[in-house]
Structure formats: C-alpha cells, structure tokens
A and B are shown apart, each in its own frame.
Chain A
C-alpha cells in the first residue's frame, strides 16, 4: 500500500471547509427480486436463485415488484420527500460481467422520491439537518469473486466467478444534497446520518439494513474548499464504506488527504477510492477523467409508475414513530444521557434493549448487558450485535435470574457465554453447567466457618472493627464455592459470625 501524505485533521480544518455527499444503497427485504419472482434469501447455492429475467436471457422481460415500490415510497415519506405522481425506470448502460443485461434498470431524471431531509442528532444532542436530493429504485448486480489475485480485486486474478443470486434484488439509492457547514464535525455528521438512516430503514421494516452483510452500503463523496469560499472543490468518491465507524474514518481520512494535496499546490483528481478497514486509509480506484456516459433512456419494457395520492396518503398515515423521536422518548424513559443514547444507537442496540425491556428486564440491566458483555463479544467476533446468537428474551431471562438472586454477575456472564455457545436457553445453561448460586445456608455456613478458621488473623481484625478486611474472607468463600455463592450473603454471614457491624 502506498503511503499517503496527510496533514493533521486540525490543520486541515483551519484552512478548508469540507463538503460531503453521501450515497446510500439499501437492499430491500422483499421476498422476491425487483423485476422477477426469484427469492432474495441470502446464502443460497450460487446461481440457484435465478430465472431467465434476472439472468438477462434473450426474450425475458421485467415486471415491477409492487412491494419494492411501496417500500420506496415509505422511505421517501420518512425522509420528508415529495413522492412523484408519475415516474419511470431508466436503463443505465454499461458493460460488466456481473450485470446480466449489461444495463442496470434504475431511475434517472424521474426518481420516485425527491427533495427531502433527515434530521440527525450528534453526540452532544445538536440536531443537524441533512437535505435529501432523491431516493430512487433500482436493481442490484450479481457478485464477482476474483480468484488468484492477492487482494481479491480483479487485478492479478486468474479467473472470476459470477453469482447472479444477488442480481435483481431491489435497491433504494438515497442521495443527499451537498452537506455544507458541518465543519470539523463533517465525519461525525456522516456517521450520524448513516446511523439514523439505518434506524429509519429498520423502523419502516423495509430492510434489516445490516451493513456487514452489504444490505446497506455507503459511498462517501468529499471535497474541500478554502474557508470562506463558495465554489466546491473536486471531489473524491470513496466506495462501499460499510460500517458506521468506517464512514467516519473515511471522511476524516479524505479531509486530511485532500488538505495535504491542496496545501502542497496539487490538484485533487476526480476518482473513485477504495476504503481499507485495517488502517482507515483510502487508495485510488478508477480515475474518472471524463464523466462515464451511461446513455440513460426510459426503460421501454416497463410502464410508468404512478402511485395514486390515496395510496401515498395511506402509507403516510401508517408510518411508524421516527427513530429520533422514539429515541428521545426512550432516553427519557430510561433516564440516560444523549451521549449514552448515541452510543446505543451506534452499537445498533436500540431495538435490542427495547425488546429486552419489553421482555421484562429492567432498562439499566438490559443496557448493561447489551452495551457491555455482548457488545464486547460482537466486537471480538466482528459481527453486529443483532447477529449474536442470543435473543432479547434470553437476555431478559438472565437479568431476571440475577434479580431474584439465582445468579450473581459472574454466573450470569457464564450463562450468557453458554447461550452464545449454543448450549441452549439460559435456564438450560444454568442447569447443565450447574451455575446456580449456592444458597443452601448450611453449605454456605460451613464454607464461611472454614474460611474464618483458615484465616484467623484476618478474622481477628474484623472482630476488632476492621470491617473492610471482610473482603478477603468473602474472596476465600467465593473461591471455595467456585464463585457460585451470593457474595452479599457471604459477607452478611461473615460479619454475623464475627459479631461485627458495617
């Protein structure tokens, strides 16, 4: 990898003002593809979910998926967009082997939704309005796997494998207007926007929007202009930035890189760039010397989409509570700070915690597990929280077992470990691993007596009023019971036996 010259973030922002454009592709969660009846389930045998239409066979024709249109309208409405009364699909013509027809059925100058905005909340509670240019419907391409090259890219590959299962899966592309005025907070705005959009998509129930599975993909377009000027600089387009953290890092890196180039008198080349998760850098992709000519024209195989106003209003009337409104409500209910709520949002834990609370857990306990132990595990495994093999109901059951004294913290962690390892639900894990707190007063009493006898000097100190020393005896008892005792009860028993008081 080439070393890229960077200037410090602070220096970059002293001189330049960043302008961003974010393009997000969302794979809809429809059962069938956008223009044919093939299944959209992920992970099937390559090319098993294909038909003449999504393979672009001669003679095949597309038919629009009505749920796809409905989802696009819902997204448009939730983004405060105008919904077109009449719009068409267009063909975007370019050759690539993973695109069966060598044109993508998309929308061009007649998107289904346009001119909207999304308010996003930053970590300090400030609300930033991101203006939406358009949201349009299109189809996904197939997937190329390049074999034999070092990087998995086509350069140096011996051959490529093509899987068309993804070809034709509905996509909604959401494009912002240029985001100006965010200053040094531009990367944070980018991340908060994508996070908010993801929540919105999930709340609308149109996609699971799992970024790590490519169900939501983000391109970060960025340019700098000298502070105080109006004219936009030349932009770079960083493609497929596929996590919230990466969106922020990519924006930050590009600000530093652009500033370095511009400060040394260089010019930014309009190009696409690849983002590298390992070190947060970007490298040059394809240079766009002249705008690629996609020869768009209205798709003659499809009739125009003309959603009736009645239908649009019906959909508007049943839009769910918007995520930001809902989060503010939850934040108050849970009694937590803006910052904590933002962390929960970034971790993708809002729904999980809500569901855990709905399953009977205390909100503090639910937050503790999802944002602590489980977030750590998800991070280690490189998956999203929601992808962990544990349900909110199971987490709620663990918190209930802690609340009634059946488990202590340590045992609860082991229980969760067991659930994640596929050993069954919490009660089964507790049973199988024998994790129940030792609450048999007789057995506990014996262990306490033995600990006192083995640590006479410490026991004397406690008798003499040094209550703080009890910790050592508690530790000894916990060790003897392999952690399965209720530490608070052990402490009580020790103090009782030694006639000491807190």
Chain B
C-alpha cells in the first residue's frame, strides 16, 4: 500500500470518514512500513502494535455505529518518548528510565486518545531532549531519511525521521531550544513550537520547565494545524498552561496568505557559520513572500546575540533540579543495591551509570550556575538577557506581523561530526533559541534543498505569543507557492529507503 503511507493526515481522516479506508487498514500499512524501514532509520524506541490496532478498531467501530469522527480520527502518529503513556514504556532516550512503565498518561497523550488518533509507538530522541542530532540517545542514533549517514536533527530526530520516511503522517515533538523546528528543517518536514503554555506539559518529562513546549510535527502545514488543535488548550494540571482559547490555527492553515503582511528579517540571523545554500534558500523565500504581497522589514535585535549563552545557563540550571529526582529510589534504573551500600551510594552509582555525558555535562553546568556566589553572575544574568530578548521581540512585533529566518544555520551534518564538540552542536539552535526564551510561537517548514549537498533547508516563521495562527497563515501560503514552483512536495525528492 505504497500510496496509502504517502497520504497526508487530512486525506487519511477524510477517507476514513468517507468509508474509503478503514483505520485498521491505515494502521496496518504504517506498521508494515515501520517493519520494512525502521531497522535502517531507528526512529522508534517502542512500537505499540497491539495498542495501535486496538485504537484503530475502536475508530472503525465508531464509524460503523454512525458516530461522528473527529478531524484526525484513525490517523497514525509517532509520539516522542518524552510523554508518559500509561502501561507503555517511556524512556526519554535515557538508560536511567529503562524499563519504566508510567502509571499515568500525559495530558497530551489523553487528548490524542480522546481524538481517536492512533499512537503507533514512541520515538527516539536525544537523552532528556538534550541535543540537536539524536546522537545523545542511549538507544543509538537515528538516521536522516534523506541520507542515513546524516543526523535527523534533535532532540526530536525520531519524530522527524518517522515523518520523512513515511512511517507516520503525524508526530509529536517537544521544543526547548529548537528540538521540534531544527529536526523539521533538516528532514524537510513541518514542525511547530506553540506559544509557551499553549500545550500542556503535564506528563511531559521535564528538561527545562520554563522553556519546554510540546508541539505538532507533520509533512504539511494543514496537518500540523489539525494536530495543533487537538493537543492545545488549557490544562488545570499545568499551572503554566494558558487559560485562553486556542488560536484559530486550522482556519489559518486553510486560508494561507501573506498579502499585506509585514514580514521581519532580523540582521542577527545571518553571517558567520551560516551555510551558503541555507542563506540562498532563505533569501529566495523572502523574495517569494514579497512576490506574494508581503512587505519586508529589516530588524535589529541586538540581544539575540546573547541568546545562546543565556540559554546554556537557564536550561542546565533548571535541568539540574528537574533531573535530581532520578535517584533510584522510586522508579527506573537502580545500580549497586547489593545490601552493602547506602542509599546515597546507590543514587550516585545509578546516576553515574544511567545518565549519558551530555546530560551529566548540563547537570554540572546547572548545579554550578545556581550555586551561591555564582547565582547572580550566571543564572541571574541569564534571566536579565531573557528579559532583553523578550523586549526585542516586543519591539519587533510593533513593526512586523511575523519574523522569518533560517531555522538552523546548516543542513543535516554527518552522524559523528559534532558528537565530541558540544559548542558546534549548540550552534545548530542559534536561530531557534530566542523564541524559547521569549515564550512566543514559531514554525519550521521546507524551503528547498541546499544546492551544495541536496539536503533540505528549513524556513523559520516566528509569531508573537498567542498568535500561533499567523504561523499557519504564512506557512500555508509559502508552502503552496513552493509546492507549485517545485511541482510536488519537497519530500518526493527524498531517496527511496
């Protein structure tokens, strides 16, 4: 059923609703695809064949009873292994949670189930979402379907690779510094980081609480919008979730336009470290939007130059505290409990064995940054930078409706290339991090292949907080124009696996 797996989520849902396909057929086709290609790609850490088929059958029964189906009923989805799933392993890509079966569903998981979305399994990721290549997973790297020797981005490389290799039409990611957008960019897919507080974090294993945000991943802007609408909304279990109506993202995605919009280009988002082909495709995108009737405005946001530094103080600080709970006492890995060691020793041995090098590096950085005597210089200063970045965005959005930039400075790099160079790895998030620090919304969508390596380039669109719908309005227009120009969706150019 080669054609079936290439359908968009919207198409699948429509066909199921019309009785042209059953949810079980759709699920089986995707499970077969996973079976066929995932040994090479390694997008999934856990496949829930039985659960997926049961969910699909329930959808078909609903249909048979004549009940109304939701807009994504029966559509398969790949869930990042950072959301808890009752009865299904959740590892966060870490050895420290190997074998842990959560006793509860994340709010997002519940919403997906309630919407009759079929969860195929849990996807690979950098351990605790710390990384930009998925190489930091304790369960081996994931390959980029465009070139399996290249990284699929990170931390949500499993989700982006599952989409790009047609193992699922929908996926969920989380974005702390770019972990939805950068993987989308390097795999030629669409990813959205909603406004902070737009999607509940309850049941999403925390990396950096004030930055983490779950969001939709898909192959089209409309599919992302449909998924966005399902997972977003106020959650009384998450105090930081926004108690306001979800922006009209689906309506925006169905009515793409940039006509009359003011589009900002930030001068800090180019220069040294940016690949020529990335800049070329980005400039073409800006020209395209101008052709489509947008007004282009140059912006200066000096504080953005400090974003990476601030991020690497705030995120590790919060992570050092969030990850303290992994102490071998209540769940997960336990090492050295042979009856001769103290609880303290067992905790130390477990954390030594259970956390990978990048996680340890960030715990140490964060512990140091929060220490008395250093707090003001590090964590305190970083919070001030955060305020400045928020102000720069506020000033910018007085002049423009959205901001655009390359999503990430380069295309997918070879697996192993930056593994031993954390600073080089961190640069992948240069353009995505300011949005996390300010808490507003952003999308990445494909804008072509870089001429020098033939790999996908991502265009980032940034909107003010709670104006997520603008991402979809602009994204849909750009997507339509590019698809028309290329004559097909970009992913059709990906090599067969």
Which positions in A face B, CB cutoff 8 Å?
52, 55-64, 91, 93, 95, 97, 100-103, 160, 162, 291, 293, 295-297, 300-303
Contact = CB atoms under 8 A, between A and B. Distances in A.
Given A59-B83, A59-B204, A100 B325 contact: yes
Nearest to A37: B237
B325 A297 contact: no
B239 interface: yes
Contact of A102 (B106, B240, B318, B327): B327
Interface stretch (B160-168, B365-373, B451-459): B365-373
A99 to B, nearest CB: 9
Nearest to B346: A97
Contacts of B83: 59
Nearest to B327: A102
Contact of A300 (B92, B97, B318, B330): B318
12 contacts: A57-B104, A57-B330, A58-B92, A58-B206, A59-B102, A59-B202, A61-B237, A63-B236, A102-B327, A297-B317, A297-B370, A300-B209
Interface of B: 83-84, 90, 92, 97, 100, 102-104, 106, 201-206, 208-210, 236-240, 317-318, 320-321, 324-327, 329-331, 343-344, 347, 367, 370-372, 375, 379
B240 A59 contact: no
A58 B205 contact: yes
A289 to B, nearest CB: 15
B343 A297 contact: no
Nearest to B211: A300
B97 A93 contact: no
Contacts of A162: 329
A64 B240 CA distance: 11
The 10 closest A-B pairs by CB, nearest first: A102-B324, A295-B370, A300-B209, A300-B210, A59-B203, A58-B205, A56-B325, A59-B84, A101-B325, A59-B205
Contact of A297 (B204, B237, B321): B321
A295 B206 contact: no
A35 B54 CA distance: 35
B468 to A, nearest CB: 20
Contacts of A102: 324-325, 327
A125 to B, nearest CB: 45
A163 to B, nearest CB: 12
A57 B240 contact: no
Contact of B90 (A58, A295, A300, A303): A58
A93 B330 contact: no
A295 B201 contact: no
Contact of A97 (B209, B240, B318, B329): B329
A295 B104 contact: no
A104 to B, nearest CB: 11
A301 to B, nearest CB: 5
A301 B239 contact: yes
A303 to B, nearest CB: 5
A301 B325 contact: no
Contacts of A103: 321, 324
Contacts of A64: 239
Contacts of B104: 52, 57, 60
Nearest to B94: A58
B97 A58 contact: yes
Given A59-B206, A61-B201, A297-B379, 20 more contacts: A52-B104, A57-B102, A58-B92, A58-B326, A59-B106, A63-B236, A64-B239, A95-B324, A95-B344, A97-B327, A102-B324, A102-B327, A293-B371, A295-B321, A295-B370, A295-B371, A295-B375, A300-B208, A301-B206, A303-B239
Nearest to B317: A297
B237 A293 contact: no
| Interface-central residue, B103, B210, B321, B326, by most chain A CB under 10 Å | B321
A62 B324 contact: no
A102 to B, nearest CB: 4
Nearest to A47: B330
A305 B104 CA distance: 28
Contacts of B375: 295, 297
Contacts of B238: 61, 63
A114 B344 CA distance: 36
A61 B202 contact: yes
B239 A55 contact: no
Nearest to A144: B343
B347 A95 contact: yes
A101 B327 CA distance: 9
A93 B324 contact: yes
Nearest to B106: A59
Contacts of B326: 58
Contacts of A56: 325, 330
Contacts of A293: 371-372
A57 B343 CA distance: 19
A68 B379 CA distance: 30
Contacts of A62: 239
Contacts of A63: 236-239
Contact of B103 (A52, A61, A97, A101): A52
Contacts of B327: 95, 97, 102
A302 B201 CA distance: 12
B205 A91 contact: no
Contacts of B84: 57-59
A60 B367 CA distance: 22
A295 B366 CA distance: 10
A302 B239 contact: yes
Contacts of A60: 104, 202-203
A157 B277 CA distance: 66
A412 B180 CA distance: 78
Nearest to A53: B237
B200 to A, nearest CB: 9
A59 B212 CA distance: 11
Contacts of A300: 208-210, 240, 318
Contacts of A59: 83-84, 90, 102, 106, 201-206
Nearest to A103: B321
A103 B216 CA distance: 32
Nearest to A160: B343
A58 B100 CA distance: 10
A431 B303 CA distance: 86
Contact of B239 (A61, A91, A295, A296): A61
Nearest to A98: B329
A63 B83 CA distance: 19
Nearest to B209: A300
A93 B203 contact: no
Given A57-B104, A59-B206, A91 B321 contact: yes
B90 to A, nearest CB: 7
A212 B90 CA distance: 43
A204 to B, nearest CB: 26
A12 to B, nearest CB: 35
Contacts of B239: 61-64, 301-303
Nearest to B202: A61
A293 B329 CA distance: 23
A251 to B, nearest CB: 30
